């Protein structure tokens, strides 16, 4: 890692290394104004597209308990993710320095309640962290817990048929570790394992039969039961959300943070519907961005009415002439458009995409049809794992499009 110290990356200068993870090394750096940042360098070039896609998506997250992603840069053959540098100690260091062997229960509960706020916010944005653990929860100078280090918890195992988990096994949900489907419940496992660790002074083990309950320390049987439910091996037996886990611990979460969804719909009811369509599509298709455009009956233009993810605020309100772009092509033909390489497709409206700051790699566009007329199009952009959309995604996309068309027309 030393070879990169002193290197200029855009308007930043790399200083000393901080840590190394599954997707790259992390360095301390400074911008031209002298402000400190954290700079992650991608060290596996095979993950470049996924790294870029996640950087764009994470750059839209804005919550007081979630680290800010400031930008994604490419210098020569190297890719970098620039993040806010949280100046403080992670909870693993706090435990090592102050645990006896664990921390006071009320203090541990306060830290986890704050972590639950961060995790619930990212889940509400259809993002899964995948590596919630004491090392990735940093206590800043004001005593606030900040969730850090997105994007390192999973990588592609070229010797296996699927995706393998990479991280800290004691804190990773079993389904992440073996490469099965992840969900919000996967991060609940990390939260529960972290709380256990903060109280007991060591990570939970399924072999030692340790009991946490100790009324003299303030650990009730009910608290232990709540933690153990969060640690269930089968995800369907765990709490379904970070907020449900927090409620079981007796904590109420503050509803803070900026959503990744935007719309121009008039009424609150219609806005809620359109935002739900794009947000749900993002989760169903594991997409980095989704947009919904509707035909303006007066001009026959396509008008983007709602969007979620990277570039959402910029695309909402944009108008396309009839037939223009991939969305216009889907509306004109009434057929689903699946593109594995947008940038080399002659139908792609590159200028419009560049204006939003987001040029996708791959896309599925579904025409929304009601009563034998096309009323709009739903565009799904970039798989978050860096893979391309293909013909195998068409049937599922069309089914989702049928449901979306019914909902939009009924609320029209």
**226-246 residue pLDDT tens:** 999 999 999 999 999 999 999
pLDDT score, position 255: 79
**282-324 residue pLDDT tens:** 999 999 999 999 999 999 999 999 999 988 999 999 999 989 9
pLDDT score, position 337: 94
pLDDT score, position 404: 97
Q: How far is CA 244 from CA 140, 145, 146, 226, in A?
A: 26, 19, 20, 10
Of residues 60 and 178, more confidence is placed in 60
Examine the pLDDT at 336 and tell me if it is beyond 60. Answer: yes
Q: How far is CA 220 from CA 88, 223, 245, 249, 357, in A?
A: 31, 5, 16, 11, 52
Q: Is 34 exposed, middle or buried (0-12, 13-18, 19+ CB in 10 A)?
A: exposed
d(CA 287, CA 281): 8
Beta strands across the sheet bearing 78-84: 8-9, 12-21, 24-31, 36-42, 78-84, 69-75
- DSSP label at 33? T
d(CA 67, CA 81): 12
Instruction: Spell out the domains of the chain, with CATH numbers in brackets.
Output: 2-84 (3.30.200.20), 88-248 (1.10.510.10), 261-410 (3.30.450.40)
Q: 211 near 196, Cβ under 8 Å?
A: no
Q: 57 near 288, Cβ under 8 Å?
A: yes
pLDDT score, position 167: 45
**372-396 residue pLDDT tens:** 999 999 999 999 888 899 989 999 9
Confidence of residue 207 (pLDDT cuts 50, 70, 90): low
Axis-axis angle for helices 394-410, 268-285 (nearest 10): 170
pLDDT score, position 209: 66
pLDDT mean over 150-177: 53
pLDDT score, position 158: 27
User: What secondary structure, in 3-state letters, does 34-60 show?
Assistant: CCEEEEEEECCHHHHHHHHHHHHHHCC
Of residues 23 and 210, more confidence is placed in 210
The one catalytic residue among 90, 124, 131, 382 = 131
Instruction: Name the pTM for this structure.
Output: 0.86
d(CA 399, CA 106): 48
Percent of the chain with pLDDT over 90: 64
Give the best-scoring range by mean pLDDT among 5-14, 76-85, 153-162, 296-305: 296-305
Q: 118 near 144, Cβ under 8 Å?
A: no
pLDDT score, position 196: 95
Confidence of residue 211 (pLDDT cuts 50, 70, 90): confident
pLDDT mean over 86-103: 94
pLDDT mean over 349-361: 87
pLDDT score, position 162: 32
Confidence of residue 151 (pLDDT cuts 50, 70, 90): low
Q: Is 262 exposed, middle or buried (0-12, 13-18, 19+ CB in 10 A)?
A: buried
- DSSP label at 23? T
Phi, psi of 248 (to 5 degrees): -65, -25
- DSSP label at 68? P
Confidence of residue 266 (pLDDT cuts 50, 70, 90): confident
Of residues 66 and 310, more confidence is placed in 66
d(CA 302, CA 317): 10
**Average confidence score pLDDT of the chain:** 88
Examine the pLDDT at 346 and tell me if it is beyond 50. Answer: yes
Contacts for 128 with CB less than 8 Å, ≥ 6 apart = 122, 182, 183, 184, 186, 187
Q: 298 near 344, Cβ under 8 Å?
A: no
Q: Is 214 a catalytic residue?
A: no
Between the CA atoms of 226, 230, 233 and 234, what dihedral angle is there, to the nearest 10 degrees? 100
Examine the pLDDT at 63 and tell me if it is beyond 90. Answer: yes
């Amino acid at each position: 890692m030393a070879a990169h110290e002193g290197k200029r990356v855009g308007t930043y200068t790399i200083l000393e290394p901080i840590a190394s993870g599954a997707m790259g090394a992390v360095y301390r750096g400074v911008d031209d104004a002298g402000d400190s940042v954290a700079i992650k360098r991608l060290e596996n070039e095979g993950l470049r597209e996924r790294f870029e896609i996640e950087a764009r998506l994470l750059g839209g997250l804005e919550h007081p308990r979630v680290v800010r992603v400031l930008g994604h840069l490419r210098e020569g053959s190297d890719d970098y993710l620039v993040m806010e540098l949280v100046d403080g100690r992670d909870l693993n260091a706090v435990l090592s320095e102050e645990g006896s062997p664990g921390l006071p229960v009320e203090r541990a509960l306060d830290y986890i309640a704050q972590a639950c706020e961060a995790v619930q916010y990212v889940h509400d944005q259809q993002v899964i962290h995948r590596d919630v653990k004491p090392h990735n929860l940093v206590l800043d100078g004001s005593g606030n817990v900040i969730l850090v280090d997105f994007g390192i918890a999973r990588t592609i195992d070229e010797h296996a048929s699927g995706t393998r988990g990479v991280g800290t096994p004691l804190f990773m949900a079993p389904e992440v570790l073996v490469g099965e489907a992840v969900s919000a419940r996967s991060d609940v496992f990390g939260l529960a394992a972290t709380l256990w660790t903060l109280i007991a002074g060591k990570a939970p083990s399924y072999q030692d039969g340790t009991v946490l309950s100790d009324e003299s320390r303030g650990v009730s049987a009910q608290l232990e039961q709540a933690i153990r439910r969060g640690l269930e091996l089968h995800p369907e037996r765990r709490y379904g959300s970070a907020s449900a886990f927090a409620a079981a611990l007796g904590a109420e979460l503050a509803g803070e943070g900026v959503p990744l969804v935007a719309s121009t719909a008039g009424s609150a009811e219609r806005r809620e519907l359109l935002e739900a369509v794009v947000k749900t599509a993002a989760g169903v298709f594991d997409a980095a961005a989704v947009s919904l455009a509707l035909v303006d009956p007066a001009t026959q233009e396509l008008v983007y009415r709602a969007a979620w993810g990277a570039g959402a605020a910029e695309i909402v309100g944009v108008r396309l002439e009839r037939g223009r772009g991939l969305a216009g092509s889907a509306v004109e033909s009434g057929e689903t458009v699946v593109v594995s390489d947008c940038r080399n497709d002659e139908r792609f409206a590159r200028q419009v995409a560049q204006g939003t700051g987001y040029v996708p790699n791959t896309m599925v566009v579904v025409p929304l049809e009601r009563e034998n007329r096309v009323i709009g199009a739903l565009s799904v952009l970039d798989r978050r794992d860096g893979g391309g959309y293909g013909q195998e995604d068409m049937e599922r996309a069309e089914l989702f499009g049928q449901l979306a068309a019914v909902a939009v027309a009924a609320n029209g």
